[in-house]
Chains A and B, each alone.
Chain A
Amino acid sequence: MFLSKTIKTVLGTSIINDVRYTQVCFHRFKFIPKLRVPEWHFRVERRAKDRDDNLTERNKRFINEMSKKDHEKASLLKVPTVEPKEWKKGMIRCGIVAKKLGYYPLWTKDGTRICTTVLQIIENHVIKYAPPGEFNPTMRKRLGNYNKKGCLYIGSGEADPNRLTANYMGLFKESGVMPTQRITRFIIHPDAALPIGTSINALHYRVGDYVDVLGKTVDQGWQGVIKRWGFKGGPATHGTTKNHRRGGSLASGIKSRIWKGKKMPGNMGNRWRTLRGLKIWRINRKENCIWVSGRAIAGAPGSLVYIYDTVLPLRQPKEPLHFPTFLGDESKLPEDIYEETIHKFGDLTITFEPEK
């Protein structure tokens, strides 16, 4: 009885004085990356217990008809035309969400092989545009002053609307676009804004330009020091016991404590990582695919990645980019667009003529 009384009093005081009574001293802080949903965003999929899977066939038919109507509505969406503008250095364009497919070898005309990965660009639709006054990110300190920049909200990937929550579907209501798998924000220059409902293609980028790709690395779970940091471990023989895969000593006696950032066992993978300065070698217009150099793009094949123009100063484009997107006639271009140095598979075999 006495205990319960005390707890009640403590809780009561805590609300008034705003004091927390959690014990911190022996609390072990672990970094476990979670899916942190931002304020403007809602839970995407309904929980399994909330879903009504026991629908009758008649009801299912009804839902399918309604969703068909929505699709028709979305297809009839009128998108206002945009006129191309002049691109200048430092004007940030919109990015693209893509699907990582896998490894693909290409050969140059010299005969050297290039390792590339294929990125399939799934459906990207503009949902919303927040002009510089409205856009107000929560992490302002770290990102800098964004009063001069706008933000594009882009929905990407197909989703079954029967599985989505009502709150999440509400985000698409104004635009009239069918609800998608994912919504992303791209911070842009206000001149690069696109009207609601426009779709972005693979032709947003050109062959020969450089690109940054952001993705989430494969989750390896809790790993030891050898796999996570590449430590050497202990000797296998000579009387060692229980010291084969250990990290050794943590610190020396001078400081008499562990330095911050000491490499230790822990959760490996499942982090956002970018690869910068990847060249575009080939573009397929029909299948919306981009061939990008490098095999080490973050994420397993089939996962979603984000593509941006490069930040690297020495790999900036020499000719002005398509701004805000590619607005020319697609039908004039060939189906496969190659970089100049790359050997097409349909061409004759490579032969070297002797020097004179």
Chain B
Amino acid sequence: MLRILPKNSNYFVNSQFLFLRHSSSAPAAATNEKNKEIANYADKKRIKKGSKKIPNDFRFKYQDFLPSPTARYRNSLLEKLMRKDMLERRSQVHIPEFYVGSILKVTISDPHSQGKTNSFVGICTQREYTGLCTRITLRNVIDHQGIDVAYDIYDPLIQKIEVLKLEKRLDDRMLYLRDALPEYSTVDVNMEPELLAEGAPVPVNETIVKMKPLPWMQKWERKELKGIENLDQYLNLWRKQQREKQATPWEKYDLMKEYRRTIPEEQQNKIFSEIFDRINKINEEHKIKAKAARRTITKPQNIR
């Protein structure tokens, strides 16, 4: 269903953070021969356990399958049930690889205009929650009016999700586009998809955004964002002082905090080895379907 976000939606799990830690259990630099032996043994064991070689980009492509890292909400049975349902839903609709900053087109069947579809094109500004509850927001400016629309990815109303432009941005959350100049969040509605070669790395779009004058929705100056250019232009002295006071530059060195907001590699491998065969099969089926759809396009007869 269509859901337009309230203005002050502060609650979101930063989902992009979950997948940074991958090489946590990599053995430390083996100085002695003994340590080397241990490391080799550990590698062998890991390969035996996992049995399948899972590609490294799986944790980015299929972010939804990783559960939320907060320990008190986790339950192995609940995650297992969710994964099963997610795969079943994915067999019906192709949910492609996309990131915050890439341009999407979502079409849904609309209960208010029956027999028709409703589609929206926009920049993906954030990804919330995990599992069956994953939600994305798209932003676009239409007739000088900024619009944010939120979609649940596993909603059965969704007919198609297309990636028109696959790219990353400098930040993991792009909600500051609401306070930026409208030219940065406008996308052509009739845009044609830009294709990337298979296996090519995802390009990073390094555009830096100019903000509108105050008032803003949030205190963007405190969030350590890379994608904004002219923050200091609008800030007064008190706000600048507050930014320095409340900054926490040591937090990126806090190993424990990073541990709590990520999921360790062993658990990730366990999850992905479960779904590995099924999801590859589903992707192949969707490819065949897409090819068949391309062939059946015929010219309308009215054109002369």
Contact = CB atoms under 8 A, between A and B. Distances in A.
Nearest to B159: A349
A130 interface: no
Size band of the interface chain A makes with B? 20 to 34
A350 B95 CA distance: 16
B114 A111 contact: no
B131 to A, nearest CB: 9
A345 interface: yes
Nearest to A352: B114
B1 A111 contact: yes
Contact of A289 (B77, B152, B157): B77
A352 B110 contact: yes
Contacts of B75: 101-102, 301-302
A120 to B, nearest CB: 6
A339 to B, nearest CB: 15
B156 A355 contact: no
Interface stretch (B83-91, B141-149, B295-303): B83-91
B275 interface: no
B206 interface: no
B155 interface: yes
B39 interface: no
A301 B73 contact: yes
B81 interface: yes
Contacts of B1: 111-113
A300 B133 CA distance: 19
A259 to B, nearest CB: 38
Given A111-B156, A113-B152, A351-B109, A345 B88 contact: yes
B142 to A, nearest CB: 24
B111 interface: yes
Given A102-B73, A107-B155, A348-B92, A353 B115 contact: yes
Interface string A107-122: 1001111000010100
B231 interface: no
Size band of the interface chain B makes with A? 20 to 34
Contacts, number: 80
A355 B86 CA distance: 32
Contacts of A346: 88-89, 91-92
A104 B110 contact: no
Secondary structure of the A contact surface, majority rule: loop
A103 B78 CA distance: 9
B158 A349 contact: yes
A352 B110 CA distance: 7
A111 B78 contact: no
Interface in A263-292: 284, 287, 289
A315 interface: no
B136 interface: no
Given A284-B81, A287-B81, A349 B157 contact: yes
Nearest to A351: B109
Contacts of B78: 101-102, 104, 118
B81 A350 contact: no
B81 A118 contact: yes
B82 interface: yes
A42 B32 CA distance: 57
A343 interface: yes
Contacts of A348: 92
Contacts of B86: 345
A347 interface: yes
A235 interface: no
Nearest to B158: A349
B100 interface: no
Interface in B65-118: 72-73, 75, 77-78, 81-82, 85-86, 88-89, 91-93, 109-111, 114-115
A104 B132 contact: yes
A105 interface: yes
Most buried by A among B78, B115, B155: B78
A261 interface: no
Given A104-B82, A113-B1, A287 B77 contact: yes
A132 B17 CA distance: 60
Most buried by A among B86, B91, B115: B115
A258 B93 CA distance: 63
Nearest to A108: B156
B153 to A, nearest CB: 11
A348 B115 CA distance: 16
A300 B81 CA distance: 19
Given A107-B155, A345-B89, A346-B88, A352 B77 contact: no
5 contacts: A111-B109, A301-B75, A345-B154, A347-B92, A347-B156
Interface of B: 1, 72-73, 75, 77-78, 81-82, 85-86, 88-89, 91-93, 109-111, 114-115, 132-133, 152, 154-159
> Lowest 4 CB-CB distances: which A-B pairs, in order?
A354-B115, A352-B114, A346-B88, A345-B88
Given A287-B77, A349-B156, 7 more contacts: A102-B73, A105-B154, A107-B157, A112-B1, A113-B155, A348-B92, A352-B115
